[in-house]
Structure 1
């Protein structure tokens, strides 16, 4: 037994203090389903056997679910799921709502309830995503006005930048033509130029571009 373990046992005031250590905070198969369990708990389902999460994809044991409900029941303070990382939340927001798994949808809902600014931001992101995937350029002025009504300074900067080229952006979101082919040729020419490490003159570059075509 190490001196650290001895000190932990000696300083423990309650039996619960002995369970704080390297095992705390480890990921569990139940973590992704805790927001759903929290919602069911708030709805009055305080018994583990009344909540069936296997159809949602849970592959853990029933004992884990029962232990989580027991912890909520005996804890003096509220026990809730750990918040997801910003990267995970960003991935949920950028995906189509219908493509999210049920557990991810519930976890995102729990995050947005506690952050009205992020909730408004999510609505704007999804509206712009719809305009990008479906030709709806005529809705751009309406969406820019909606952004300005919310207290989201970063999006205000984005809206101001779009306003400077509003006609071009509307055309890009409405018309079926695109500059993808031209951009591809420009990238190809840049690649050929980089391959010469800056030592090729115009004549050689011209020949390489023509032969590469």
Structure 2
């Protein structure tokens, strides 16, 4: 069984960026654990939402995560919901206020 760090690396990379051996290893690991398979599916869906700027999918994604018994992702969802509008905008809009926020009064940067 591969180490957690390796499995996490596989899950967080684009499938096309995995070697054939890594793809096989990931498939074997996911097939052996229903919860890990569901986590990987949610992580992939979130990554697609992020890279494709599909903030309109945030609420359905949150609902799908809540429907699964995945406490770690439930905590992540609660964090997203803390500032839901900003998260949705970040997943949708092509611009950011990050430069302004980084230079706010009192900033150490």
> What is the TM-score when the length of structure 2 is the normalising length?
0.89
**CA displacement at 1:128 relative to structure 2:** 0.7
| Partner of residue 9 from structure 2, selected from 66, 91, 95 | 91
Distance 1:179 1:88 in 2: 34
Which position in structure 2 is the counterpart of 1:118? 36
**CA displacement at 1:184 relative to structure 2:** 4.4
**Larger Cα-atom Rg:** 1
Q: Does 1:145 align with 2:78?
A: no
Distance 1:97 1:168 in 2: 29
- Structure 1, unpaired ranges of 5+: 1-82, 192-213
Distance 1:135 1:90 in 2: 23
Distance 1:145 1:125 in 2: 14
**CA displacement at 1:153 relative to structure 2:** 1.1
SS of 2:95's partner is coil
Distance 1:105 1:183 in 2: 40
Alignment length (residue pairs): 107
Which position in structure 2 is the counterpart of 1:128? 46
Map Cα deviations across residues 52-104 of structure 1 (whole Å, 9 max, x no partner). Answer: xxxxxxxxxxxxxxxxxxxxxxxxxxxxxxx1111111100000011111110
Q: Does 1:157 align with 2:65?
A: no
Distance 2:86 2:51 in 1: 17
| Partner of residue 168 from structure 1, selected from 74, 80, 86 | 86
Distance 2:93 2:66 in 1: 26
**CA displacement at 1:108 relative to structure 2:** 0.6
| Partner of residue 105 from structure 1, selected from 8, 23, 26 | 23
Which structure's relative contact order is higher, taking Cα pairs within 8 Å and 6+ residues apart?
A: 2
> What is the TM-score when the length of structure 1 is the normalising length?
0.48
**CA displacement at 1:183 relative to structure 2:** 4.1
- Structure 2, unpaired ranges of 5+: none
